[in-house]
């Protein structure tokens, strides 16, 4: 036990040491956001924002304003969907406004890579929703806000290349919960069926480069 105490004291003595170039500290305002992006965010979102696991949204090429709003929403607990509070509330709790802006800049300037293709019928059904909406369900066409290439626009996120699973889950969050307030998506999704969501999400995941 003595040795453990000694080691603990020695380690505490080291506690002031920092390694700003390669730190994973999330409470140090002096750490460059790009360091945090590489050392921490990359674990789930990928070093270039093209996450491998559909559990985690792709951030490459995402709209900077959207990313800033989401990180601020996590930090303030304004955004409270499961993906938000399980993973992001803690990560973002001590980020400064400057670090949030820097992280948003970093991921917005990354190049989005193509994601997994889907079936032709799903592509066709999803494309129709994206381009024409579903008038009888009061669903506006996605491109109206998210852009003709689903590249997003300011606070409206990029959707092209996003994981289907993530999009479907978020559409359900909009439809069924108050976890993501302050967007028109609650109204847009309120009559969508699960199949509609899967189709449009599949189309967006496999968004054609030549669209």
Partner 1 sequence: MQGPMAQRIARVFGKSWVVITVSIAVLTLLPADGWALPLFARQTGQNCLACHAGGQFPELTPYGRKFKLTGYTMGERATVPLAVMGVASSAKVASTAGSSDIEADFPHNGRFEFTTASVLCCGKITDNIGTFIQWTWDRFDHLNDQGSWVSKSHADQIDLRYADRFIDKNQDLIVGLSLNNNPGVADVWNTHNSAFTPVPTYVPVSNPSGNAGGPFVDVPAMPIIQSLGQASAGATAYAFWNNTIYGEFGLYKAADKAFSAFGEVPAGEIDSFLRLKGLNPYWRLALNHDWGANSAMVGLHGMRAETYSDAEDMSSPTARFTNYGIDGQYQYILDPHVVTAMFSYTHEKQRYADALWNTSNPEYLGAFANSSNTLDYVRAKLTYVYRAKYGAALAYSSIRGSSDSILYSNPAAVPNSRLWAPEVFWNPVQYVRVGVQYFMWNQYLGAKSNYDGNGRNAKDNNTLFLYVWAAY
Integer Cα distance of 166 and 69 in angstroms: 18
- How many residues touch partner 1 under the rule CB under 8 A: the total is 45
CB of 102 to partner 1, least distance (A): 17
Where do we find the tokens 């080691």?
7
List the one residue from 134, 147, 165, 186 that touches partner 1 (CB under 8 A): 165
x/- track of binding to partner 1 for residues 97-126 (CB under 8 A): -------------------x----------
Integer Cα distance of 143 and 5 in angstroms: 61
Token pair listed for 170 = 């978020």
> Would you count residue 90 as binding partner 1 (CB under 8 A)?
yes
List the one residue from 40, 65, 123, 185 that touches partner 1 (CB under 8 A): 40
First and final CA of the chain: distance in angstroms? 66
Length of the chain: 211
> Would you count residue 23 as binding partner 1 (CB under 8 A)?
yes
> Would you count residue 19 as binding partner 1 (CB under 8 A)?
yes
Q: Residue 139 pairs with which residues in a beta bridge?
A: 134
Look at residues 142, 160, 57, 169 and name the one whose alpha carbon lies nearest to residue 107.
57
> Would you count residue 209 as binding partner 1 (CB under 8 A)?
no
Where do we find the tokens 């003709």?
148
> Would you count residue 151 as binding partner 1 (CB under 8 A)?
no
List the one residue from 32, 64, 72, 85 that touches partner 1 (CB under 8 A): 85
For partner 1, the closer CB: 90 or 208: 90
Sign of CA dihedral 94, 96, 101, 105: negative
Integer Cα distance of 80 and 124 in angstroms: 33
Q: Which stretch binds partner 1 (CB under 8 A): 25-33, 100-108, 151-159, 171-179?
A: 25-33
> Would you count residue 143 as binding partner 1 (CB under 8 A)?
no
Integer Cα distance of 137 and 144 in angstroms: 16
Token pair listed for 30 = 């002096």
CB of 128 to partner 1, least distance (A): 26
Kindly list the residues in this chain that would bind partner 1 in the complex (CB under 8 A): 1-4, 7-8, 11-12, 14-20, 22-27, 38-40, 42-44, 47-48, 52-55, 82, 85-87, 89-91, 93-94, 116, 165, 169
């Amino acid at each position: 036990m003595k040795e453990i105490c000694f080691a603990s004291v020695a380690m505490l003595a080291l506690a002031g040491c920092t390694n700003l170039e390669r730190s994973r500290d999330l409470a140090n305002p002096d750490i460059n956001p790009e360091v945090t992006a590489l050392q921490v965010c990359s674990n789930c979102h990928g070093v270039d924002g093209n996450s491998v696991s559909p559990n985690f949204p792709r951030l490459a090429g995402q709209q900077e304003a959207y990313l800033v709003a989401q990180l601020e929403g996590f930090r303030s607990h304004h955004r409270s969907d499961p993906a938000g509070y399980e993973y992001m509330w803690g990560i973002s709790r001590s980020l400064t406004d400057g670090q949030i802006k820097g992280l948003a800049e970093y991921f917005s300037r990354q190049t989005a890579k193509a994601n997994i293709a889907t079936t032709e019928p799903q592509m066709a059904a999803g494309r129709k929703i994206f381009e024409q909406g579903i008038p009888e369900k009061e669903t506006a066409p996605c491109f109206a806000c998210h852009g003709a290439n689903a590249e997003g626009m300011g606070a409206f996120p990029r959707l092209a290349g996003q994981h289907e699973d993530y999009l479907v889950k978020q559409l359900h969050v909009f439809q069924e919960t108050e976890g993501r307030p302050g967007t028109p998506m609650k109204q847009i999704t309120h009559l969508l069926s699960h199949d509609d969501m899967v189709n449009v999400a599949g189309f967006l995941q496999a968004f054609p480069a030549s669209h």
